[in-house]
Structures are given as structure tokens and as C-alpha cells.
């Protein structure tokens, strides 16, 4: 691998000072650096990767054993080796396959749970399952991290398909979150889903207790309006939730990869089982593409390789995700967990320090909002931020098509501006036209220079449907996988979240005044003293 990394670094040294725009002297570049899969189009031509860079990056992926590890993941090998688990979120959408884990085909169990979810969703949506005051009007999903971000993001993304009860998502242990959510809801017609893989997460269990107490104030049997989604059937039973409303999954589905199964229950209640199946089909289509397309035409592989080029080779520490699709406004937050919890690791599988940086900081906001906030830095700041634009050819609002044209113009204009920039001579000409001259013209012109030569990729699709959303999410999942394999890390554990959880548990009695601050550093002790007043 070292030789492959070295070859890429040497290539980068050789090309780093050229302008990406010059690569377009090759009239075939846009086409040669655009890959497609089932109507989805990834244009990565606005990067400083040329044919040699592409070959070296593909060599890197091949040398890392991406093909072999991909087969291992899809067939249920225990690739999450710090937890001794298979990684099989893909099985949740490949329902006609056979996947053996510990000698048993796991697909029939997945199908059975999906069908139970569908039956329950239909009962709720069609009024056969009711609250103690009548038809369910609202669903409150209580979960955090992977038990919240996916379904919450998707419920927003698929708003045009939403014809079920209103869905609300509570995650934060800050009481403000649940208080603001429950305010205005009727306990007699609300269904609460407690979504937690482990059913031990402090935020979720605390909010679940609060919701139960809220409901108990108004209905005779609160537990009857609770459902649970978890791998821990014993704990859901202890909470008092009837097994008929408990939807289980196995430990080989990671939290941040879990929205395809029971964790997607609230989404299914919102959009209905048919659209949920269409979402699964989109994910499945991307799985097929990922497993069959050659690396240099393979969307997840290419997205990962562009990421490796920008982060590990060029040294750009962050990446902005910029959906020009308001309904994907929670996608950046979702991707923060998916990517940073997966690939934010400092040691390789064997425990040795990584020879490169881990995955990048991922951040973003929808366009055009971001343009009026942080794009200033993206265009003129001293650091380069590789950008990832997402855009649909068509919106859902036929009567607002003129607004969609504006939206798409803005999206294309931003990647064009990042690429092209504005030279000092162009800025001078603008200032001269405004009547400036001499030193003042020069000074003002310098403020209006855009360096350009800033990389971006554009992911374009026809319309944001359940199928498209499934493609997008599976695309990003596989991108994380490929990047993780290349970096040599385990993308499927998350030990980095543990220490804070432990310290918070230990601090609770200190803040409640039941314990002193012995052993705490000076700052933490002083803050605890401030809190106790």
C-alpha cells in the first residue's frame, strides 16, 4: 500500500499547481469524468484528478482489497472485528438473497419483521390500531444517533409522499426537546416509538420515561400506545411494551446503518409500506451497481476515491455537503454520523497508528441558504473546502417550476464559480467600469478576486423520490465502506463515543451534590461548583 500512497503523493506534487479549468481543454473531460447508475449521475470532472490520478486511485482501491472486502461484507463475514460482528445492513434491502450468519440464513427473519412492520403500519394508518382517544394522529419517535438521524432525515426528504400520521422526532436529553415536541400533542391519539438498538441509551430511556409519564396523565394504559424498535427484547419487555409492538433486529446492523429496517418504522408510518419498499429498492439498486460496476465507473468507489484524494493526498481536512434540495436539509447531519462515526478512527484494524489522516470533517447546509452564510469562506477563505453538490432535475411543485430553475442555476453557478474564480485583471476591469482608478481601484479589486481552482463534485438525479433517496443513502454507506477499507480501519465500531458517556454518568452525582469533585481537573471542578451554585 505504501508504494501506492507514495505514487499518488508524487503525482499530486507534479500536478498541484495547475488549474482544474485547464483540464477542460480536453473536450471529452466532462463525459469521461461523469459516472452514472440507474438515472443518478456523478460529475467529478471539476477536480484536479486526471487520467493518471484516476488510475493511481483505482490502483490504491485494488491494492487495499476493496473487491474482496466488499464480498466479505455482503456475504456476512464478521468484518467488524473489534466487536466480532457481521455488517449486514445490505441484507435489509436484498430480500431475495441468501445470507448466512453463524450457519443460518438471516433473510427470512428480516422479511418476517418487515411484514410485521407493514401490517402494523397499515393498522395505524388505516385506523385499526387506535389510541385510547381514537385514530392515531401523531407519532413520536424517541431515539438518538442512528436511531433518529436516518428516519428523521428521510421523513423530511419524503414530505411529498407523507400521507400518514404526523411524525415527530425527539433525540436530545435536553428536556426542552421533548417538552416542545409534546406540547400541543394529544396523548390519547399519539403513538410513541422507543427506538434504541441497545435499549440502554440514557437520552432515549430518559425521554421514554418522560413520554410515558406524560401519557399516564391522560390515558389509562400508556404502554398500549408504545411501540419499540430494538435488538434487546428482554429490555423492551421490562419497559412494559407488548411483544406484538416490538420490532427486533440483529447486532449485525450498525446503528448508523439501521434505517432500512425497524428503525425506519416512523418513516414507514409517514409514507406507507409501498413507498418504504421503494426506498429499499433504491438502496438495492445501488448495492447491485456497487457490486458490479468497474471501479472507474462505480459511484461509491469514485466518491470514496475523490474523498481520499482531497483529504489524505491534498490535505483538505473538511468536506462540505451542499444539497440544493431543501428536503435534504438534514442530510449533512445524517452524514456527519455516518461518515465521522464510521471513519473518524486513529488506528488501523491491527491497532497500529494510521499512516494517514482519518476521514474528513463533514459539514453543510442546503443551498441556496448556505450561499448567504458560509460560502464566503468557501470562495475566498485561505483553506480549500472540497464541495459536494446534490441537485434534482425536477422538483415536486409543478406550479413552482420557475423557482426550481433558479435553484438549479444557483447550484451550477456555485460549482462554476469555485472552478473558474475571478482573476485580478477581471476584478480591475469591474472596478474601472465603476469609475475607480489608481491605488483605490487596485485595493478594491484585490477584495474582489476569487482564486478559483476549487474542487467540487455534483450528484444529480431526476427527482427526490423514495427510490432516489434509497440510492443516495446506500451510495454514501458504500462510500464510507470503501474509504474505510482504503484507510485500513474498522468503519463499524464507535469506541470514540464511550469515554464521554462514562464521564457524564460519573458527573451526575457530582452535579447533584451527592459527591465531591475529588479527582477532577481544575476546570471541570470549577464548572461543577458553578452549576451547584
Kindly list the catalytic residues. Answer: 341, 372, 501
DSSP for 233-270, written as a single string: HHHHHHHT--GGGEEE--TTS-GGG-TTTGGGHHHHHH
d(CA 86, CA 12): 36
Interface segment toward ligand F6P; rule CB under 6 A; list 109-117, 191-199, 346-354, 407-415: 191-199
What x/- string results for residues 482 through 501 when contact with ligand F6P is judged by CB under 6 A?
------------x--x----
Query: What x/- string results for residues 339 through 358 when contact with ligand F6P is judged by CB under 6 A?
Result: --x-----------------
Residues 503-522 that bind ligand F6P (CB under 6 A): none
d(CA 47, CA 49): 5
Closer by beta carbon to ligand F6P, 405 or else 504: 504
**Does position 97 bind ligand F6P by CB under 6 A?**
no
Quick check: 107 and 95 in contact, CB under 8 A?
Answer: yes
Instruction: Indicate the residue among 165 and 255 with the shorter CB distance to ligand F6P.
Output: 255
Start-to-end CA span in the chain (Å): 56
**β-strand 134-135 against 130-131: which pairing, if any?**
antiparallel
Q: What is the DSSP letter of 531?
A: H
How many residues sit in the footprint of ligand F6P (CB under 6 A)?
Answer: 14
When binding is defined by CB under 6 A, the residue of 150, 255, 386, 488 that contacts ligand F6P is 255
Q: Is residue 201 at the binding interface for ligand F6P, with CB under 6 A as the rule?
A: yes
Among 90, 196, 342, 343, binds ligand F6P (CB under 6 A): 196
Which of 145, 300, 344, 466 contacts ligand F6P by CB under 6 A? 145
**Is the CB of residue 444 less than 8 Å from the CB of residue 431?**
yes
Contact between 144 and ligand F6P (CB under 6 A)? Answer: yes
**Cα(79)–Cα(492) distance, integer angstroms:** 8
Q: What share of the chain is helix, strand, coil (3-state, %, to 5)?
A: 55, 15, 30
Shortest distance, position 148 Cβ to ligand F6P, whole Å:
8
Please select the residue that binds ligand F6P; options are 141, 204, 210, 298, rule is CB under 6 A.
Answer: 204
Give the phi and the psi of residue 219 in degrees, each rounded to 5.
-120, 155
Q: Which is nearer to ligand F6P, 235 or 422 (CB)?
A: 235
Q: Does 256 bind ligand F6P (CB under 6 A)?
A: yes
Question: What element of type H or E holds 191?
Answer: strand 190-195
Does residue 206 bind ligand F6P (CB under 6 A)? Answer: no
Q: Which stretch binds ligand F6P (CB under 6 A): 140-148, 243-251, 375-383, 447-455?
A: 140-148
Which residue in the set 76, 131, 146, 323 belongs to the binding site for ligand F6P (CB under 6 A)? 146
Burial 89-121 (b: 16+ CB within 10 A, else e): bbbbbbeeeebebeeeebbeebeebbebbbebb
Min CB(443)–ligand F6P separation in Å: 51
Among residues 205, 249, 220, 39, the alpha carbon closest in space to that of 133 is found at 220
For ligand F6P, the binding residues in 147-176 under the rule CB under 6 A are 147
**Using CB under 6 A, which of the segments 20-28, 59-67, 142-150, 365-373 binds ligand F6P?**
142-150
Query: Rule CB under 6 A: which residues touch ligand F6P?
Result: 144-147, 196-198, 201, 204, 255-256, 341, 494, 497
Amino acid at each position: 500500500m505504501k508504494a501506492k500512497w507514495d505514487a499518488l503523493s508524487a503525482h499530486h506534487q507534479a500536478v498541484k499547481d495547475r488549474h482544474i479549468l485547464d483540464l477542460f481543454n480536453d473536450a471529452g473531460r466532462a463525459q469521461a469524468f461523469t459516472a452514472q447508475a440507474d438515472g443518478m449521475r456523478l460529475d467529478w470532472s471539476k477536480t484536479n484528478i486526471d487520467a493518471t490520478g484516476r488510475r493511481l486511485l483505482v490502483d490504491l482501491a485494488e491494492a487495499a482489497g476493496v473487491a474482496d472486502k466488499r464480498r466479505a461484507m455482503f456475504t456476512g463475514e464478521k468484518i467488524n472485528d473489534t466487536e466480532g460482528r457481521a455488517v449486514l445492513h445490505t441484507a435489509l434491502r436484498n430480500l431475495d438473497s441468501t445470507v448466512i450468519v453463524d450457519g443460518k440464513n438471516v433473510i427470512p427473519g428480516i422479511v418476517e419483521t418487515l411484514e410485521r412492520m407493514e401490517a402494523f403500519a397499515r393498522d395505524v394508518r388505516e385506523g385499526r390500531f387506535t389510541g385510547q382517544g381514537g385514530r392515531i394522529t401523531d407519532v413520536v419517535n424517541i431515539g438518538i444517533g442512528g436511531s433518529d438521524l436516518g428516519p428523521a432525515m428521510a421523513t423530511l426528504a419524503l414530505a411529498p409522499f407523507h400521507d400518514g400520521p404526523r411524525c415527530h422526532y425527539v433525540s436530545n436529553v435536553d428536556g426542552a426537546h421533548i417538552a416542545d415536541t409534546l406540547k400541543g400533542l394529544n396523548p390519547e391519539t399519539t403513538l410513541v416509538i422507543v427506538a434504541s438498538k441497545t435499549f440502554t441509551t440514557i437520552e432515549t430511556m430518559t425521554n421514554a420515561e418522560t413520554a410515558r409519564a406524560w401519557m399516564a396523565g391522560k390515558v389509562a394504559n400508556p404502554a398500549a400506545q408504545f411501540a419499540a424498535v430494538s435488538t434487546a427484547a428482554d429490555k423492551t419487555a421490562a419497559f412494559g411494551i407488548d411483544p406484538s409492538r416490538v420490532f427486533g433486529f440483529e447486532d449485525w446492523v450498525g446503528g448508523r446503518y439501521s434505517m432500512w429496517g425497524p428503525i425506519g418504522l416512523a418513516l414507514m408510518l409517514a409514507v406507507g409500506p409501498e413507498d418504504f419498499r421503494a426506498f429499499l429498492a433504491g438502496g438495492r439498486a445501488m448495492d447491485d451497481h456497487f457490486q458490479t460496476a468497474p471501479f472507474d465507473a462505480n459511484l461509491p468507489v469514485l466518491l470514496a476515491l475523490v474523498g481520499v484524494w482531497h483529504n489524505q493526498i491534498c490535505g483538505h481536512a473538511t468536506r462540505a455537503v451542499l444539497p440544493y434540495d431543501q428536503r435534504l436539509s438534514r442530510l449533512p447531519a445524517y452524514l456527519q454520523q455516518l461518515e465521522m462515526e464510521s471513519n473518524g478512527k486513529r488506528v488501523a484494524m491491527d491497532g497500529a497508528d494510521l499512516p494517514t489522516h482519518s476521514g474528513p470533517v463533514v459539514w453543510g447546509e442546503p443551498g441556496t441558504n448556505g450561499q448567504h452564510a458560509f460560502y464566503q469562506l468557501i470562495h475566498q477563505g485561505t483553506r480549500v473546502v472540497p464541495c459536494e453538490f446534490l441537485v434534482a432535475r425536477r422538483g415536486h411543485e409543478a406550479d413552482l417550476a420557475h423557482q426550481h430553475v433558479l435553484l438549479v442555476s444557483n447550484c451550477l453557478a456555485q460549482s462554476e464559480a469555485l472552478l473558474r474564480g475571478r482573476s485580478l485583471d477581471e476584478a480591475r476591469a469591474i472596478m474601472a467600469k465603476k469609475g475607480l482608478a489608481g491605488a483605490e481601484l487596485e485595493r478594491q479589486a484585490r477584495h474582489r478576486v476569487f482564486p478559483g481552482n476549487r474542487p467540487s463534485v455534483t450528484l444529480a438525479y431526476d427527482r427526490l423520490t423514495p427510490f432516489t433517496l434509497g440510492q443516495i443513502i446506500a451510495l454514501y454507506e458504500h462510500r464510507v465502506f470503501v474509504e474505510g477499507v482504503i484507510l485500513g480501519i474498522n468503519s463499524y465500531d464507535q469506541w470514540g463515543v464511550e469515554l464521554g458517556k462514562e464521564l457524564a454518568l460519573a458527573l451526575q452525582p457530582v452535579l447533584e451534590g451527592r459527591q465531591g469533585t475529588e479527582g477532577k481537573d481544575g476546570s471541570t471542578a470549577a464548572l461543577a461548583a458553578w452549576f451547584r451554585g
